[in-house]
Amino acid sequence: MRDFLKKDCDAMDMCSMTSAYRTVDQLTDAVYGSYLNVKKREDSDPAWKKRVFANRKKLAQHIEKFHKVSGALTPAVQQGLDVLRRKKDCIFLMTAHQTNFMPYSGVMRKTTLMHAVAEKLENISDIDVVEFYGIANQDIASSWPWLKMTQLPSIFHKNGIFELSYPLKKEYEKKIHAAVSKPAWSDIAKWRRDAEEWMKLSMNLIESYGYTISSENKKKLYCNYKKFTNIINCSNESARNFAEFNAIMISKIVNNHFGYGTLFSLFTDCQQVFDKEFLYLLENHGKYHTYLNSVKGTRDARAVAPFWYHCECLGKVELEIARGKDALELSGRCPACGKMHVFQLNEGKVSRDFAKILKNISARARPMTLVFFEGLGVNMYVGGALAGKCYLNDAKYIADRMHLNFPPIAIWRPKEKYKGLAQLSCELYKKSACGDPSLEETIKYVEGEINSVNNRMGVIDALIRNATSEHERNRMIAEKNSIRKRHDLRALTKELSSLKKISGAESVIPSIMDYAINIGLKSTCDQWRSHLIDNGSLTEDVNLDSILETKR
């Protein structure tokens, strides 16, 4: 897992797209400008306007379906649905993410950025603003560790990381996330036991350093924890599969606890809305692949469909395109069950033939943005770290050349600072172990001590092997034991392990559970919003007040 995390961070360095917008006001101006540009295009292309408004209305059906299942069909959600159903003019904001398990804060923070921009827009215009969140539940279950695992900082666990994970069965490894069965209640019970033990250990360590957590604050922490576990329980009761369990959890947090009117829909449901947009890319696959190869700097001669086909076994099939005399042929083998799929889209009947497979497809990464942005007239998209240069920059290059709508891209990935149970544990332990030097300096010092002792022991081992008499050999063994006793190598090694756990814990991007317990879900979103509205910076660190920082 540590190797994967390093690759993950390297990918972020390589692919992250620096947003052109450093403040919320700059972003809001760009979004409003995008809206005006879309209006101009609608005026000059009534057919496109009609299609966009029809797509939005069809999308509303899938959104309502999901919110009924999630138990988050709130008045604010109903208001957004009403705008789409009535085909009202609106500014359309969008984000999307995979169905991560108890996701890290960035998955939720996107909704606050959308909401803050919506607030700003409402101050400068009377236009309705819709906030849409697409849930990508069609990724291969084993392709991305965060689909089945979440992390919390902890100096009590290996590498300073406390992991809660879903035991993915081998039968699901090559299938989409929506194919995975939802958690057993025994899984949830184990997560609760482990989380409660983590809280207890953290509190005990904090108090062992003379830091008092008041009974009132302990009560607040456990109350927050209980609220979060209630969300988990309710999500599992409503879900049909593991991806839906995670999606419902996100919706409940955003709609019921943050109080936003964010509209959610599963990609496996709503992507069938975009038949015309998919067909446009399919019928112009020559241009699309020319531009794709150009921006990627590749010479891939294969023409691959802009979507995946979902096999009956719920494996995900890559389809290659071949142009015959009178038809487009799409073909590919399912990696999960081995079945070969071949589809003919006959000339003059392409739309009808494509409709037969429409319910079983999902867009690939770059085409997803092209299809949604063009099909919904999107005016802003909130991206993430890994979806920067890798996908969004490529998609913009293609969109510009194929004359497709492409909105301003916003990225808000601040470093967040708050004093939670794990963070305070690290702070107190570090102060005790390091004193004035920094953690890095202390780690280097202890590593140096260990290396020095090991080097001396190595020299003595060589002398023992080459000893010419029993007396000399015994003298060297006694010297080795004396060094081991004087320097207590075992204690040094244990100390180094603990120091590295602190370093690991401080580098974790925590699960939203950590925020829920230590800050509270509503307080978290309120503080995010305050930063965006009052400070406005999209690049500065964000300091959050936690329960442990209150006197009572």
Mean pLDDT check: name the lowest of 165-174, 219-228, 451-460, 525-534. Answer: 451-460
Of 63 and 147, the one with more pLDDT = 63
Q: What confidence tier does 70 reach under pLDDT thresholds 50, 70, 90?
A: very high
349 in any annotated domain: no
* Rounded Cα distance, 44 and 546, in Å: 52
The enclosing domain of 90 has a CATH number of: 3.40.50.620
Looking at residue 298, what is its pLDDT?
77
The proportion of the chain whose per-residue pLDDT surpasses 70, expressed as a percent, equals 94
* Residue 408 shares a structural domain with residue 535: yes
* Residue 44 shares a structural domain with residue 111: yes
Phi-psi region at 442: left, alpha or beta (left = phi > 0; alpha = psi -120 to 50): alpha
Q: Look up the domain containing 213 and give its range.
A: 150-174+183-238+419-509
400 in any annotated domain: yes
> Domain total for the chain?
2
**Residue 333 DSSP symbol:** E
* Residue 129 shares a structural domain with residue 264: yes
* Residue 211 shares a structural domain with residue 100: no
Q: Is the pLDDT of residue 409 over 80?
A: yes
Average confidence (pLDDT) over 153-167: 93
CB count in 10 Å sphere of residue 449:
15
The model's pLDDT over 72-114, given as tens digits with 9 standing for 90+, comes to 999 999 999 999 999 989 999 999 999 999 999 999 999 999 9
* Residue 442 shares a structural domain with residue 481: yes
Looking at residue 60, what is its pLDDT?
98
Average confidence (pLDDT) over 199-209: 95
Average confidence (pLDDT) over 59-75: 98
pTM: 0.88
What does pLDDT average to over the chain? Answer: 90
* Residue 60 shares a structural domain with residue 191: no
Looking at residue 314, what is its pLDDT?
94
* Residue 399 shares a structural domain with residue 454: no
Looking at residue 17, what is its pLDDT?
43
* Rounded Cα distance, 453 and 471, in Å: 23
* Residue 289 shares a structural domain with residue 227: no
Q: What confidence tier does 435 reach under pLDDT thresholds 50, 70, 90?
A: low
546 in any annotated domain: no
Average confidence (pLDDT) over 302-323: 93
The model's pLDDT over 374-384, given as tens digits with 9 standing for 90+, comes to 999 999 999 98
85 in any annotated domain: yes
The model's pLDDT over 487-519, given as tens digits with 9 standing for 90+, comes to 777 777 777 777 778 888 888 999 999 999 999
**Residue 323 DSSP symbol:** E
* Residue 429 shares a structural domain with residue 388: no
The model's pLDDT over 212-222, given as tens digits with 9 standing for 90+, comes to 999 999 999 99
80 in any annotated domain: yes
Of 225 and 499, the one with more pLDDT = 225
160 in any annotated domain: yes
Angle between helices 275-283 and 285-296 (to 10 degrees): 80
Looking at residue 243, what is its pLDDT?
96
346 in any annotated domain: no
* Rounded Cα distance, 508 and 162, in Å: 10
Average confidence (pLDDT) over 292-297: 86
109 in any annotated domain: yes
* Residue 452 shares a structural domain with residue 430: yes
Q: What confidence tier does 475 reach under pLDDT thresholds 50, 70, 90?
A: confident
Length of the chain: 552
Q: What confidence tier does 11 reach under pLDDT thresholds 50, 70, 90?
A: very low
* Residue 431 shares a structural domain with residue 383: no
Looking at residue 121, what is its pLDDT?
97
Tokens 């169905």, residue located? 99
Q: What confidence tier does 437 reach under pLDDT thresholds 50, 70, 90?
A: low
Looking at residue 83, what is its pLDDT?
97
Q: Is the pLDDT of residue 7 over 50?
A: no
Q: What confidence tier does 10 reach under pLDDT thresholds 50, 70, 90?
A: very low
Q: What confidence tier does 386 reach under pLDDT thresholds 50, 70, 90?
A: low
* Residue 454 shares a structural domain with residue 441: yes
The model's pLDDT over 177-202, given as tens digits with 9 standing for 90+, comes to 999 999 999 999 999 999 999 999 99
**Residue 175 DSSP symbol:** B
CB count in 10 Å sphere of residue 348:
9
